A and B are shown apart, each in its own frame.
Chain A
Amino acid sequence: MMTTGRARSGFAAVWPPVLFGIAFLALWEWFVNVRDVKPYVLPKPSAIWAQLRDNHDAILTAAWATGQNALVGLAVGVVVGLAAALLASRMRALDAMLTPLAAAVAAIPIVALTPVFNTMFASTSTIPRRLVVAIAVFFPIFVNTLKGLRQVDPVHAELMRSYAARPWTIMRVVRLPGALPFFFTGLRIASSAAVIAAVVSEYFGGLQKGLGPAITSAAAASAYPRAWAIVTAAIGLGLAFYLAALLAERLAMPWQRRPTV
């Protein structure tokens, strides 16, 4: 059915974006040089790269702090989102209750929530940030997984009825594996959202660890190329999370062989 995808996913799939990226950076470097753009407006890619290299250790430490928050929050959000989707798919009453609630959770402006959480917990606590990440992650996981759990091929439904299978057996044999592609779509969205939420939550007081405070302090010290270097690290962290989600998807569903980027 989808057998043609894999051959394309090697070298041929990689070089167009790489080529585009290199061309874009070259154009950027050239533009800054020719127009003599000031670093506080837009630093050169080479300057950003030099900062990234020179501040290697500090940036890694900051990225590690942010990454931990994102990872823990992601794990919590995934577990809660999955559990809620499972319950909602099995109990109609619970579904009627949970789905509007989930929509409400999705509408929470995490930016507004962070200072509130910060006052709830000690200023040295990482819990507020992880909580913010978990909330951002919950909704895409819940909505996608629930949709997958609800979609059962009518033939599979009749087949399971002919086997006189119990609801839990149907869940285990048909619904859960069938929902995996939907869950992983949610996880891909959630993985990037987790890093963004982790970085944003760092701007509202509390601990001075992580990429967010590092960007703020670099900008405050007029070290613009350094600020950009840290932003680049944040992008790298987000990409790492996204790629990890993709890899998990590939490993968990070997029967789906289409490239899923």
Chain B
Amino acid sequence: MSVAPIPVAVSAPPAVALAGVGKTFGAGPAGTRAVTDVDLTVAAGEFVSLIGPSGCGKSTLLRIVANLIDPTEGTVLVNGKPARQARLDQDYGIAFQQAGLLEWRTVRANVELPLALHGDGRAARRARAEELLELVGLSDFAGHRPSELSGGMQQRVAIARALARRPALLLMDEPFGALDEMTRERMQSELIGICAETQAAVVFVTHSIPEAVYLSQRVVVMSPRPGRITEIVDVPLGTRDEEVREAGRFYAAITDVREALRGRPVPSAEASR
């Protein structure tokens, strides 16, 4: 189902490689089939969104990649390693819909947390946290508590925290879902910039079609009961900037994804095959 090209000489392993992945919650006939028959490859440095209605298994799939839950069948490789090993090696950074900051720690200490748990020295941690807070534009808030920050600022701290160990893969589960539309668009633009700078691959779960289209090189369209991939839409938009949001090809791509979500044939996707 995946249309990712298979390079002959592999310089870097794909960020994510899923083959025949399925997940059933509960056992026996009462079990719920959450995800079935998923094949997906995310190249190093690629930005891929998972989109679909509630219950299509997109968050479950992300958690399988993160090894927060185990798949019932199939193989999951992250950076060429089994998912469990990748988690133990902290090969990925993760951000959720809730920022999930530790409210008793300062902003700086929250960003330093993954570094501290990895055993990095105090000076190295401090330097990296300064760098990351600079990247997300929160240098002035390093000493503040999370409760003193707005929702968008908290989410930026969470993203900085996810980036702390320079992961080659960033997993994001509706990180902007709780933000207002204005903040959301600004955060999207910032994320594009951050990805360009860090060269990280991203798997991004979202409900929003414009968000998926604006951010991604490919949009993976999923449908529920049982959760599966129905379509993978290429988004050939080139460099993302604010003008892209107004461009005709942006709306064309949105239409593509929308029709794929409705299960209609997609002209451009068919043409590319």
Instruction: Indicate whether A4 reaches chain B with its CB closer than 8 angstroms.
Output: no
Closest to B84 in A: A164
Q: Name which of A71-79, A154-162, A229-237 contacts chain B.
A: A154-162
Instruction: Indicate whether B113 reaches chain A with its CB closer than 8 angstroms.
Output: yes
Bound-complex Cα distance A175 to B38 (A): 36
Closest to B149 in A: A1
**What is the 8 Å Cβ interface bit string for chain B, positions 72-99, against chain A (1 contact, 0 not)?**
0000000000000001101010101010
A-B pairs with CB below 8 Å: how many? Answer: 51
Contacts of B147 in A (CB 8 A): 1-3, 255, 257
A255 x B104 contact (CB < 8 A): yes
A158 x B102 contact (CB < 8 A): no
Minimum CB–CB distance for B93 against chain A, Å: 8
Bound-complex Cα distance A255 to B105 (A): 8
Q: How many residues of B contact A (CB 8 A)?
A: 21
Instruction: Indicate whether B45 reaches chain A with its CB closer than 8 angstroms.
Output: no
B interface, CB within 8 angstroms of A: 63, 66, 68, 87-88, 90, 92, 94, 96, 98, 100, 102-104, 113-114, 117-118, 145, 147-148
Instruction: Indicate whether A40 reaches chain B with its CB closer than 8 angstroms.
Output: no
Contacts of B104 in A (CB 8 A): 177-178, 180, 253, 255
B92 x A162 contact (CB < 8 A): yes
Instruction: Indicate whether A153 reaches chain B with its CB closer than 8 angstroms.
Output: yes
A255 x B68 contact (CB < 8 A): no
State which size class the interface on A falls in: 20 to 34
Instruction: Indicate whether A119 reaches chain B with its CB closer than 8 angstroms.
Output: no
Contacts of B98 in A (CB 8 A): 155
Instruction: Indicate whether A169 reaches chain B with its CB closer than 8 angstroms.
Output: yes
Closest to B98 in A: A155
Closest to B88 in A: A164
Minimum CB–CB distance for B215 against chain A, Å: 22
List 10 A-B pairs, Cβ < 8 Å: A3-B148, A155-B100, A158-B94, A161-B68, A162-B87, A163-B117, A163-B118, A164-B90, A173-B102, A253-B104
Instruction: Indicate whether A174 reaches chain B with its CB closer than 8 angstroms.
Output: yes
